Amino acid sequence: MGLNKREIVIIAETNRDNYSVEIKTLDSRLWQAVITITQPKKHYDVFTARGALKTWTNLADAIVYIQETCDDCKNVTIRIGAWTFSRVI
C-alpha cells in the first residue's frame, strides 16, 4: 500500500504525533521512504503521483523531500545497512 505526496501531507496534518518516517536503502544505489502510522499500526510506501514507487539516488534528496512533506514529524529514522540514525523529539 502506498501514498503520494498529497496523501502524505494529509497524514502529516491529521496524525501529527501518531506517525513516523523511515528512509532506507532498497539496494546499494536507491533510497526509499516508508510512512508508519503508530495507532493503528500501518505502513505505507511513498509513491509518485503516477503510482510508481518513489525512490531517490541521493540520500540528501530523500531527506529534503521528507523535510518538505512532513516538516513537523518528530520521529525520523535513516537505515544504512546495519546502522540506524534516528531523530526523535
**CATH code for position 58:** 3.30.420
Give tens-digit pLDDT for 24-60.
998 778 999 999 999 889 999 999 988 899 999 999 9
CB 3, CB 44: distance < 8 Å: yes
Cell triple for residue 71? 516538516
Domain residues for 31?
2-88
Q: What is the pLDDT of residue 83?
A: 92
In the chain, the number of structural domains is 1
What is the value of pTM for the model shown? 0.88
Can you read off the three cell numbers belonging to residue 4?
503520494
C-alpha cell at 23: 528512509
> In the beta sheet, which residues pair with residue 35?
21, 44
Asked if the model's pLDDT at residue 1 lies above 80, the reply is no
Nearest alpha-carbon partner for 37 in 79, 70, 6, 62: 70
CB 56 within 8 A of CB 65: yes
